[in-house]
Chain A
Amino acid sequence: QKEVEQDPGPLSVPEGAIVSLNCTYSNSAFQYFMWYRQYSRKGPELLMYTYSSGNKEDGRFTAQVDKSSKYISLFIRDSQPSDSATYLCAMIEDDKIIFGKGTRLHILP
């Protein structure tokens, strides 16, 4: 079983829609949960990180962690074409980032 499972997509949604991206993980020891955004030919860029269960909001982005279900989500409100990118969920283990494969997101104008 992979440590982090993430649907690769692609996911296409119309501009202005709410986007929901999700990951599941297997290691209950993970404490820090992160979302990275990666544009084509660029490196991953940290969007948000949360510690343990709960919600964290930053502008149009909300990260949600449910440790009891080993499930994390990223919601994007009022999606924009500039949000089109690959979104990677990630966790930290012993200072190493464990990445999901990433979900390719397309926001259609």
Chain B
Amino acid sequence: EAGVTQFPSHSVIEKGQTVTLRCDPISGHDNLYWYRRVMGKEIKFLLHFVKESKQDESGMPNNRFLAERTGGTYSTLKVQPAELEDSGVYFCASSQDPRVKYFGPGTRLTVT
């Protein structure tokens, strides 16, 4: 069975540009999460989807970040416009049992 996949693996953009990250969860997993690790910090929660609905977006840093989950399948996370402090590794995770989350390999975002 395929795991959680994320695209792209690495993105380098200039400040002010837009970037869209994609996550494909494990098939059948209703729960989808986005997390982020900024350099030198812990991995931190961004938001949680249950199917296509946002269950909790308390970790989203500001309104430059927009997450969607079309039809309860894949999810996208758009950053517009990107700022330097948005650089980090963005992880997606999916689960059926909330205690057991399967993480993707992450997208490394570099904003220059």
Q: Chain A residues in contact with chain B, CB under 8 A? A: 4, 32, 34, 36, 41-46, 49, 88, 92, 94-102
Contact = CB atoms under 8 A, between A and B. Distances in A.
A101 B99 CA distance: 19
B103 A43 contact: yes
Nearest to A31: B99
How many residues of B sit at the interface, in one of the four size bands?
20 to 34
Interface of B: 4, 35, 41-45, 48, 55-56, 59, 91, 93, 98-106
A77 to B, nearest CB: 24
Q: Please list the 10 inter-chain residue pairs (A to B) with the smallest Cβ-Cβ separation, ordered nearest first.
A: A43-B103, A96-B45, A99-B43, A99-B42, A44-B103, A95-B98, A43-B105, A101-B42, A43-B104, A42-B105
Contact of A45 (B41, B43, B59, B103): B103
